[in-house]
Structure 1
Amino acid sequence: MIDLTMIWAAIIGFAIIAYVVMDGFDLGIGILFPFFEIGEDRDRAMNSIAPVWDGNETWLVMGVGGLLAAFPLAYAIILPALYAPMIAMLLGLVFRGVAFEFRWRDPGHRAFWDFAFTAGSFIATFAQGLALGALLQGISVENRAYAGGWWEWLSPFSVLTGFGLVVGYSLLGACWLNWKTEGNLQRQAVIYAGRLGIALLLLIGAISLVTLTLEQRYHARWLDFPGVLATAQVPLLTVIATWLFYRSLRLRKDIQPFLWALALFGLCLLGLGISIWPDVIPTRVTIWEAAAPHRSQVFMLVGASIMVPIILAYTAWSYWVFRGKVGKDGYH
């Protein structure tokens, strides 16, 4: 019999990966925005994401909506535990979206909208990192309900993961601008990418080491023999991807640094999967315990099998249409 719970876990996992890939770089550009020269460079940075930024957030809606529909118990536990960072994330995304539109329509207050664009991007990214850290460190669950307090999500570890995601998205943003722009802005993006790559590698190492101390099962998954023979390949591949990333920067490649930065994110997500699988709430609730009834999963799968290919086709088409570099006139 087909395990629909596994299929839905894969669908939601894909939505999360797609969100990180597609919305990570435009949030990163918002975080880096104050470091760009006022005027042409800032305009070109924004124009590089203008055709795609709002569509990128489709995957966030799909991931959260899919969690509610396919794993309602997990949604009912996670949302109360992470109310504060989730509200902060949504407010940041709203503030950022408003700033994106009004920056062009209200040039008299452009400095304010530039600040709003950066603040919204930073808050949304940092809140996502906080939520990830809180989920990894453990959520208090009793009788299939959240049993912790309002501030349980806040800890040194969740703050560390918050800054780790800020640096990671900033790296994606710098690599995107290296790919999509030219001239002074591209040269600046290459410099930032080199510095952010080192910072991200250090943060990945720190977060990975602390994660091993959070739960005994995390430690066992990564270091017990013979499993360590497989899990050791993840840090090895991370080192290789980092070397290839810096090699592509040194050779002044356009798209390769972005792809290798995405590879680093992919390895981080793989490491996360190794640590928590098959739980949806680490060490508390498995995907099968949280799953919706079989009939509900079948009904939703019919809709997903229609809509996901349509979204993918539209997304691919929009990226293809705007595939070139952004010129000094602000157009692709």
Structure 2
Amino acid sequence: MGIDFSLIWILIIFFGVMMYVVMDGFDLGIGILFPFAPDRHDRDVMMNTVAPVWDGNETWLVMGGAGLLAAFPLAYSVVLSALYLPLIFMLLGLILRGVAFEFRFKAHDHERHLWDKAFIVGSVAAAFFQGVALGAYIEGIPVVDRAFAGGAFDWFAPFPLFAGLGVVVTYAVLGSTWLILKTEGALQAAMIRLTRPLLWALLAFIVAVSIWTPLAHPGIAARWFAWPDMLWFAPVPLLVVLCALQLLHSLRGAPHAAPFFYVLGLVFLGYTGLAISVWPMIIPPEITIWEAAAPPQSQGFALVGALFIIPFILMYTAWSYYVFRGKVRAGDGYH
């Protein structure tokens, strides 16, 4: 029995996208939360909590896309053709946000509000269109003769747009709990107050998507409720409730890291539930990872490079977060 390169590669891509969602999620969440912190000094502190690491967080997005191209070229061509517009809008949001991030620190006082607005718009747009792309992917992509057979605006539908709003709320919760971890005083207290309604909104989206998805997609419903597949799903809602309760409890007193890690748990559960729902399809609803795979020789050659570079990415990421650990206070600068 040979090595299943397709399985190894899908796990690598799954890991890379998960790392991006977590690490750039709280980063984007800070921009989404800017309207709730109108004070300039609070906004300075919020941005300084991610200033040393924000651009490195997007390494994982590049790795996920490059891995998809190398290991599953059919999926790369079909999925990107289907989601061309939302992904372009997402990238434009990331560009606007990145430019605003850099120029805000260099702008004169009377111009800074313009870059604040650009930072908000870029963050919200990037998060929203990531969710739209995810929702359109779950909806399914029509394929004929190994090519995308749909229209340019198939993604403009109720479920993808709803998923876009859900991702915005998810990133906002990640951002607020990250700020609880990294700040103190009045700003931290404001984020604690804000996290509670955001969590309830997130739970409402989770419930709505959990009901909407099987009703709209009989294939996913069959996978969820068929025996013994339902054994894999049964712990997920219980763990979601447990994480939510623990998160609410952790917000009492003087919270620090616990709220952030409980939100990470919620994100991981949702992401894992998605993976189980579409498995083993890489182009829902019909094309599996093995049908979309590159030749084993190509996958094996690319795998050597991936297994070499991923430990370095993990090491410098861990080192950067270690170096810039601790609370960020007013007056701590970004240079």
1:90 aligned residue: 91
Q: Which residue number corresponds to residue 234 of structure 1?
A: 236
- Does 1:252 pair with 2:254? yes
Whole-Å separation in 2 of the counterparts to 1:289 and 1:269: 23
Tell me the TM-score normalised to structure 1 length.
Answer: 0.98
Matched AA of 1:238:
V
**Once the 2 structures are TM-superposed, how far is the Cα of residue 226 of structure 1 from its aligned partner?**
3.7
Which residue in 1 is equivalent to 2:150? 148
Task: State the Cα deviation string for residues 55-75 of structure 1 (Å, max 9, x = none).
Answer: 000000111111111110001
Find the counterpart in structure 1 of residue 77 from structure 2.
76
SS of 1:280's partner is strand
Specify which of 208, 211, 220 is matched with residue 210 of structure 2: 208
Partners of 1:239 and 1:331 lie apart in 2 by: 39
Give CA deviations for 1:197-221 in whole Å, capped at 9, x if unaligned.
0000000110111110222221011
Distance 2:40 2:138 in 1: 41
1:50-129 pair list within 5 angstroms: 50-107=51-108, 108-129=110-131
Match of residue 294 from structure 1: 296
Report the counterpart of residue 40 of structure 1 in structure 2.
41
Tell me, in whole angstroms, the C-alpha distance in 1 between the residues paired with 2:294 and 2:112. Answer: 47
The alignment of Structure 1 onto Structure 2 pairs a total of residues equal to: 332
Contact 2:137 2:284 in 1 (8 A): yes
* Amino acid aligned to 1:177: L
Please state how far the C-alpha of 1:48 moved relative to its aligned partner. 0.4
Equivalent residue, structure 2, for 1:192: 194
Question: How far 1:37 moved relative to its partner?
Answer: 2.8
- Tell me, what secondary structure is at the counterpart of 1:149? coil
Contact kept in structure 1, 2:44 and 2:330, CA below 8 Å:
no
Q: Which runs of 5+ in 1 are unaligned?
A: none
Counterpart of 1:128 in structure 2: which amino acid? Q
- What secondary structure sits across from 1:250 in the alignment? coil
Structure 2 match to 1:176: 178
CA distance in 1, matches of 2:87, 2:40: 33
Secondary structure in 1 matching 2:282: strand
Q: How far 1:154 sits from its partner (Å)?
A: 1.1
TM-superposed CA distance for 1:112, in Å, is 0.5
Whole-Å separation in 1 of the counterparts to 2:253 and 2:167: 27
Give the % identical residues: 54
Structure 2 CA distance, aligned partners of 1:221 and 1:126? 28
Looking at structure 1, the residues matched to 143 and 127 of structure 2 have their Cα atoms a distance apart, in angstroms, of 26
Residue in structure 1 matched with residue 245 of structure 2 by the alignment: 243
Deviation at 1:230, TM superposition (A): 3.3
Structure 2 residue aligned with 1:307: 309
Q: Distance in 2 between matches of 1:279 and 1:22?
A: 26
1:251 offset after TM fit, Å? 3.6
Q: CA RMSD, aligned part only?
A: 1.1
Any idea what SS the aligned residue of 2:320 has?
Answer: helix
Tell me the equivalent position of 1:329. 331
Secondary structure at the residue paired with 2:130? Answer: helix
Normalising to structure 2: TM-score of the pair? 0.97
The one-letter amino acid of 1:210's match is: W
The whole-number CA distance in structure 2 between the counterparts of 1:150 and 1:230 is 35
Alpha-carbon distance in 1 for matches of 2:227, 2:254: 42
Matched-pair contact (CA < 8 Å) for 2:95–2:122: yes
Structure 2 CA distance for aligned equivalents of residues 68 and 328 of structure 1: 43
Comparing 226-235 with 295-304, greater Cα deviation is found at: 226-235
Instruction: Letter of the 1:268 partner, please give it.
Output: G
Unpaired runs of 5+ in structure 2? none
1:331 offset after TM fit, Å? 5.2
